Amino acid sequence: MYSSSLTTKLNIMYPIIQAGMAGGITTPELVSAVSNAGGLGSIGAGYMTPENLRTSIQRTKERTNKPFAVNLFVPNEVSASEQTIKKAAEQLQPFYESLGVHLDELPTTFQQPFEEQVTVILDEQVPIVSFTFGIPPQETINKLKKEGILLIGTATTVDEAIAQEDVGIDAVVAQGSEAGGHRGTFSSPFEQALIGTMSLVPQVVDHVSIPVIAAGGMMDARGIMAARALGAQAAQLGTAFLTCLESGTKSVYQEAILTSSETDTTITRVFSGKPARGLANTFIRDMQKNKTEVAPYPIQNTLTNKMRREASKQNNMELMSLWAGQGTRMSKKGTVATFIQDVVEQYEQLAEKNSF
Amino acid sequence: MYSSSLTTKLNIMYPIIQAGMAGGITTPELVSAVSNAGGLGSIGAGYMTPENLRTSIQRTKERTNKPFAVNLFVPNEVSASEQTIKKAAEQLQPFYESLGVHLDELPTTFQQPFEEQVTVILDEQVPIVSFTFGIPPQETINKLKKEGILLIGTATTVDEAIAQEDVGIDAVVAQGSEAGGHRGTFSSPFEQALIGTMSLVPQVVDHVSIPVIAAGGMMDARGIMAARALGAQAAQLGTAFLTCLESGTKSVYQEAILTSSETDTTITRVFSGKPARGLANTFIRDMQKNKTEVAPYPIQNTLTNKMRREASKQNNMELMSLWAGQGTRMSKKGTVATFIQDVVEQYEQLAEKNSF
């Protein structure tokens, strides 16, 4: 497979980045396996306390001496009246009850302390940090860069990519509309920022001079080669790693992905208050059918947290968030090492076969 | 550039197909210029009377001896009460009035006579026919194939592509969500069938054995190369040809495309009753803001027809349908010959530069 100025900077063999999916997916086993296989593993730290992030980093380091990244959620302003929160919580009660649990107390904190997460990253000398949901404060950027940490931003439009370059971010993920999980959109209505990877990547490449990483819809060597043709220096894959044995993905969730088709996902705010792509299930359908009001992100996320965790414990797919991209028919079950090896081999065969 | 079993079958030099855009875009000058330059030009005959189609074919033949295609709309069932039609028409009156015209009589025919269009194609021995909005009757397929005419279908999901192969269609366009103009969706709710090109193409390739043509978001050699990597045997471009000098695109429409960004399009039913991607303008915004009920396709299309024609005459962009895909930042103005030559050169340079 090819190398690029970005793979050189990241010090990785293959231009394959495992997306920093939050919510227990990116176990130390997954992240280290990706890095050990020549890609870039990423700890999805969005929902981690600083303590848990530290533990996760340390456990990953025990398993690899290769570089890996931590992905952080740039904090968003939290604003909702107590009444809104109360109402949103009430409307979730039937779902909670169907699981035999209750949402007893209304939470009062909704996001992890970002600067403390950054401190852990500095302490632990993690070489690469990626961000989504916005641009971190300039001070934070400067502090991380001063320590030689490479910063990767997330953009869903050309303007968002330009904004990243302007503040000194080193590389930018162009997240196409195919991508699973949360949209990184931070400066447009999200509907306007649903640009397919095929057209987003070259347009971003044309308007920034930092390396561009393609994300959205790529599941194998064909997608990675296409990303390269479009001008991306690497590809970020999320869904493809969900069905790897080392991931923290629950079996029912993995099975749902492995048996789903490209038309089974939808973009919804019902789980977190922020639009995200995942497999449609009862929770999404009921909330949409009843036109239930959803609290803004990250409040809704906190309100559904216990429901999702309990549903997961009970293997109840219908009330879990089953984030996935549009390429699920290409999903395969297996180890990370086999996945990456297969991709590399498929890539070499394609490169030989295709006379471009 | 590369050749494939499909380019051989189509008897074209480059794997570039000009989409059969309807509504006066695909002049004989455009279609013949594309075919003369080594691609496949297509007459967008969806809205043409059989007589106009015949004239268009003959004028194209006068300008090229290379193969070209005709694109037809597979007829959809027309069903709406008189009341629905009347109400939809009434709600359009303010827009008509703003142009100083009236929608006097309610139309009673809404689609062109499909079988008569087919007869013209057979008479004129057009070598390639492409379809959108569904699958033609088996009898029609057999009749065309018996004459050695090559048939190209349009699919927006894997299942739609499989259905095309099953009835004997020779090649299938996988239309990704980035694509401008009408969605070809015929067997799913259209929202579920908005699959990005990057993930749609390889999934279609995995499930059919007929050649796949990628469509959606490609504007230059990078996109065509990416399509090839994904397994497509050719790429169909629409928006890229709208700004060619030979097209019938009005200047204001061309200017709108040339100055727009990737976030400026939206998918709307307001013009035709069928979802289509175009640049947002006053008509779309007002109809959506007022939650105006729209008559089903093709009735709404007929009801807005005079409005669109009059707006076009008056160079009033705000009441025209400005169909465009998500790659508009890559648009360029120029002749077809220059466009295709540039793409071919860019392709060769990329193929040399990129070590895949």
Structure tokens at B300: 């709404």
Q: What is the pLDDT of residue A291?
A: 87
Which candidate, B29, B16, B37, B40, places its Cα nearest to that of B62?
A: B29
Q: Which residue from A218, A225, A325 is facing B356, i.e. has the nearest CB?
A: A225
User: What φ, ψ does residue B344 adopt, rounded to 5°?
Assistant: -65, -45
Most B CBs within 10 A among A187, A199, A330, A350, hence the mutation to make, goes to A199
Q: What is the pLDDT of residues B288-311, one digit of tens each?
A: 998 888 999 999 999 999 999 999
Residues of chain B contacting residue A195, judged by C-beta atoms under 8 Å apart? 178, 262-263, 326
Name which of A227, A201, A203 is nearest B354 in CA terms: A227
Q: What backbone phi and psi angles, to 5 degrees, belong to B113? A: -70, 105
Across A235-239, average pLDDT? 98
Which has the minimum average pLDDT: A68-77, A299-308, B82-91, B99-108? B99-108
- Between the CA of residue B120 and those of A42, A83, B46, what are the distances in Å? 59, 66, 13
List own/partner pairs for B167-170 with CB under 8 A and 24 or more apart.
B167/B135, B167/B138, B167/B141, B168/B141, B168/B142, B169/B131, B169/B135, B169/B141, B169/B210, B170/B9, B170/B145, B170/B210, B170/B211
* Residue of B153, B223, B145 lying closest to B184 (CA atoms): B153
Write out chain A residues lying below 8 Å of B198, CB-based: 176, 178, 196-198, 216-218, 223, 226, 327
Q: Measured between CA atoms, how close is A311 to chain B, in angstroms?
A: 25
For residue A98, pLDDT over 80 is answered with yes
**Pick from B178, B195, B230: CB nearest A222:** B230
Chain A, nearest residue to B177 by Cα: A196
Task: Chain B: give the shortest CA distance to residue A198, in Å.
Answer: 6
Angle, helix B197-207 to helix A221-229, in steps of 10 degrees: 140
Measured distance CA(A235)–CA(A215) in Å, rounded: 6
Closest Cα in chain A, distance from residue B186 (Å): 13
**Residue B75: other Cβ atoms inside 10 A:** 18
- Residue B155: list chain A partners with CB under 8 A: none
Distance from CA of B225 to the nearest CA of A (A): 6
Would the pLDDT of A86 be above 80? yes
Spatial CA neighbour of B216 closest among A343, A236, A162, A226: A226
A204: in domain:
yes
Spans of chain B, pLDDT less than 70 = none
| Cα gap B109→B25, rounded to integer Å | 23
Residue B266 lies in a domain: no
φ, ψ at B254 (rounded to 5°): -60, -45
| Nearest in space to B244 (alpha carbons), one of B344, B341, B335, B338 | B335
Taking the CA atoms of residue A197, residue A202, residue A203 and residue A204 in that order, the dihedral angle to the nearest 10 degrees is 80
Domain of A213 in residue numbering reads as 5-76+111-250+330-353
CA distance B250 to B263: 22
pLDDT at B54: 98
Chain segment A31-63, per-residue pLDDT in tens? 999 999 999 999 999 999 999 999 999 999 999
CB contact under 8 A, B198 and A197: yes
Peptide bond into B298 cis (omega under 30): yes
- Amino acid symbol at A291: K
Residue-level pLDDT at B109: 85
Residues of B in contact with A207 (CB under 8 A): 329
- How far apart are the CA of B109 and the nearest CA of chain A, in angstroms? 34
Contacts of A332 in chain B (CB under 8 A): none
B280 found inside a domain:
no
B162 falls within a domain: yes
Q: Assign residue B32 a region: left if phi > 0, alpha if psi is -120 to 50, beta otherwise? A: alpha
CB < 8 Å to A180, chain B: none
- Candidates A198, A212, A331: best to mutate against B (most CBs of B within 10 A) is A198
Q: Are strands B276-279 and B265-268 parallel, antiparallel or unpaired?
A: antiparallel
Cross-chain Cβ contact B178/A192 below 8 Å = no
Q: For residue A319, what pLDDT band results from cuts at 50, 70 and 90?
A: very high
CA distances for A107 relative to A34, A84, A89, A111, A309, angstroms? 35, 13, 10, 11, 15
Inter-chain touch A195–B158, beta carbons under 8 Å: no
DSSP string, A275-310: -EEEE--HHHHHHHHTT---PPTTHHHHHHHHHHHH
* CATH of residue B129: 3.20.20.70
* Per-residue pLDDT, B309: 96
Calpha distance B296→B146 (Å, rounded): 35
Peptide bond into B137 cis (omega under 30): no
Decide if B329 and A228 are in contact by the 8 Å CB cutoff: no
Q: Determine the residue among B186, B187, B199 to mutate to test chain A binding: the one whose Cβ has the most chain A Cβ atoms within 10 Å.
A: B199
Count of CB contacts below 8 A, A vs B? 179
Looking at the domain assignment, is residue A270 inside a domain? no
Whether residue A275 is contained in a domain is answered as: no
pLDDT at A22 over 90: yes
Distances (CA, A) of A134 to A85, A98, A158: 24, 36, 14
In a domain, A99, yes or no: no
Contacts of B260 in chain A (CB under 8 A): none
Q: Is A199 in contact with B207 (Cβ distance < 8 A)?
A: no
Closest-CA residue of A relative to B192 is A263
| Distant-in-sequence, close-in-space partners of B190: CB < 8 Å, separation ≥ 6 | B156, B183, B267, B275
Contact B229 A229 (CB under 8 A): yes
The residue of chain B nearest to residue A15, with distances taken between CA atoms, is: B356
Contact B207 A329 (CB under 8 A): yes
Nearest-by-CA chain A residue for B356: A351
Average pLDDT in the A184-197 region? 97
Mean pLDDT of chain A: 96
Query: Measured between beta carbons, which residues in chain A are less than 8 angstroms from residue B178?
Result: 195-196, 198-199
Interface test with A, best of B159, B198, B285, B345 (most A CBs within 10 A): B198
Using a CB-CB cut-off of 8 Å, the residues of chain B touching A229 are: 222-223, 225-226, 228-229, 350, 354
User: Of A76-80, A233-237, B271-275, which range is least confident?
Assistant: A76-80
- Do residue A262 and residue B157 have CB atoms under 8 angstroms apart? yes
Are B330 and A219 a contacting pair at CB < 8 A? Answer: no
| Count of domains observed in chain B | 1
* Structural domain contains residue B98: no
Cβ distance B179 to A350 under 8 Å? Answer: no
What SS3 class is residue B30?
helix
pLDDT of A355 > 80? The answer is no
* Inter-chain touch A199–B220, beta carbons under 8 Å: no
| Token pair belonging to B123 | 């008479």
Distance CA B210, CA B203 (A): 13
Are the beta carbons of B263 and A157 separated by less than 8 Å? yes
Q: Which member of B216, B229, B351 has the closest CB to residue A350? A: B229
